[in-house]
Amino acid sequence: MWDLCTNALDTAKLRGAAYGDVRVMHLRQRDLTTKNGQVGTLAQSESIGLGIRVLANGAWGFASTDRLTREGVAACAAQAVSIAKASALAKRGEVVLAAELPYVDSWQSPFRKDPFEIPLETQLALLLAADAEMRRVKGVTLTETDMQFRKIDSWFASSIGSHIHQRKVISGCGISATSFQSEEIQKRSYPNSFGGQHSLQGYELVESLDLVRNAPVIAEEAVALHSASQCPEKIGTLILGGSQLGLQIHESVGHPIELDRVLGQEANFAGTSFLTLDQLNQLKYASSIVNVVADARLDHGQGLGTFAYDDEGVPAQCTDIIKDGKFRGYLSNRETAHLVGLDRSSGTMRTESWNRLPIIRMTNVSLLPGSWNYDDLIADTHDGILMETNRSWSIDDRRYQFQFSTEIGWEIKGGKKFRMLKNPSYSGITTEFWNSCDAICKFDYWTLWGTPNCGKGQPMQTMGTGHGASPARFRNVRIGTAFSNQ
């Protein structure tokens, strides 16, 4: 693989590139699903290819190929330089890269059980067993299960001398039960909605989640929701479970801090950002107890945004995003770092595949734990609503006004969970919402949730991000008015 990388960089230099980086990627994936006791998906695939990015005449060029011969790679590199020179004819300014050291390294994400070494029959049998447990519950209409596994090898080389090999193993799984009665649909998912939990682990993640034992619990809740009271409409106290708070972080903190969105360089798929450059170190983003970081280091956890080096060869870092409530940082790359006063990139460039250009992506954007015990938080809440597990969401293209609904809610009265609520929802304005946070649970209740399906760019790239969160409380939130037609 290194010979291919060297060939690509040598060709680019001969053709006039001032800088080049190349990545060979080998991607393997396995997907399994069931629906109502039947196999839905049983697929395994792999892909290998090379992508090269170059700077020539002060502009970028990119090309990719799966023809991994000396001739094929040389032609790809020559094409990338040609594209850069053509782009330079319409450039608005010279691309200037922040300095970075060369690195020669090899890194593998930690895992105990390689999911690709576990027989398909074993994995499928587990899903079918969980599916069967859900179908035993009277009133369940639809049962679904899934597992996803990814193994990604990448070989990165750059003209400054970096040679970095990384291997990541990613696992994910989840189950859901849906009940349809009297023109109303209720659904419960475990351990999270939209595919469950995903992390930088092996098959041990699947085993730890005990799908079969939890299957009847969520099935019974899906049926029980039909008899639950409707979530009231009011301005009141809201407690969010960790997984829902993870999505709240993703949408109202993670996306607006992507510096390419802020600058209008990448607005094709999901818009821009309200966090203009003048807000940095000035905006009171949240209450003083709120601290959010973007942390790609393994020390932070085995998240979908964890790695050793990004796709520019920049080491994983921890960046303060919100510090004691103040807005402190963006997600940057080597090209944009100087615009926010940084000497180097914050290391957030990632690509979905060998045939996609790296772009700024979230790493693990996490709310740091607070000091509350969960039971004490409930007991301290005289009148409130607890919401868990996302059902749907909407947020404007600047990431400022939002509304979310969850699968289940619980009314809290006098410090106790009083009754189940159906169709819970809430809405708000990003900065007002985060400034209303007055309690965050401690690390014992903190989970690094995985979002495997974040889309960005055109052509769209789907990447995994991580979001650590523990349950937290918010005051004076508009409750029960979002998605009122569901």
Residues 169/302, Cβ–Cβ less than 8 Å = no
Q: Is the peptide bond before 358 cis (omega within 30 degrees of 0)?
A: no
Domain boundaries, the chain: 2-227, 229-479
Question: CB 379: neighbour CB atoms within 10 A?
Answer: 13
The dihedral through the CA atoms of 279, 282, 286, 292 has a sign that is positive
Helix, strand or coil for residue 210?
A: coil
pLDDT at residue 481 in the model: 79
Architecture per CATH, 2-227: 2-Layer Sandwich (3.30)
C-alpha pair distances (Å), 450 with each of 116, 243, 364, 479: 20, 9, 9, 26
C-alpha pair distances (Å), 87 with each of 153, 162, 198, 356: 31, 26, 39, 17
Residues 243/447, Cβ–Cβ less than 8 Å = yes
DSSP per-residue codes, 252-301: IIIGGGBHHHHTTS--TTT---S--GGGTTT-B-S-TT--EEEE-SGGG-
Q: Which residues pair with 295 in a beta bridge?
A: 318
Measure the CA–CA gap between 482 and 427, rounded to whole angstroms.
6
Helix, strand or coil for residue 466?
A: strand
Q: Is 200 exposed, middle or buried (0-12, 13-18, 19+ CB in 10 A)?
A: buried
In single-letter form, the type of residue at position 85 comes to K
Measure the CA–CA gap between 187 and 242, rounded to whole angstroms.
18
Q: Which residues pair with 462 in a beta bridge?
A: 455
For residue 111, what is the DSSP state? Answer: -
Angle between helices 120-135 and 211-224 (to 10 degrees): 30
Q: Which residues pair with 426 in a beta bridge?
A: 404, 479
DSSP per-residue codes, 9-65: HHHHHHTT-SEEEEEEEEEEEEEEEEETTEEEEEEEEEEEEEEEEEEETTEEEEEEE
pLDDT at residue 271 in the model: 81
- In a structure prediction context, what are the per-residue pLDDT tens digits for the chain, which is 486 residues long? 999 999 999 999 999 999 999 999 999 999 999 999 999 999 999 999 999 999 999 999 999 999 999 999 999 999 999 999 999 999 989 999 999 999 999 999 999 999 999 999 999 999 999 999 999 999 999 999 999 999 999 999 999 999 999 999 999 999 999 999 988 999 999 999 999 999 999 999 999 999 999 999 999 999 999 999 999 999 999 999 999 999 999 999 999 999 999 998 887 766 899 999 999 999 999 999 999 999 999 999 999 999 999 999 999 999 999 999 999 999 999 999 998 999 999 999 999 999 999 999 999 999 999 999 999 999 999 999 999 999 999 999 999 999 999 999 999 999 999 999 999 999 999 999 999 999 999 999 999 999 999 999 888 999 999 999 999 999 999 999 775 444
What contacts 433, CB < 8 A, 6 or more positions away?
A: 248, 252, 402, 474, 477
Rg (the chain; Cα; Å): 24
pLDDT at residue 267 in the model: 76
Measure the CA–CA gap between 359 and 311, rounded to whole angstroms.
9
Parallel, antiparallel, or unpaired for β 38-56 and 19-35? antiparallel
Measure the CA–CA gap between 213 and 210, rounded to whole angstroms.
6
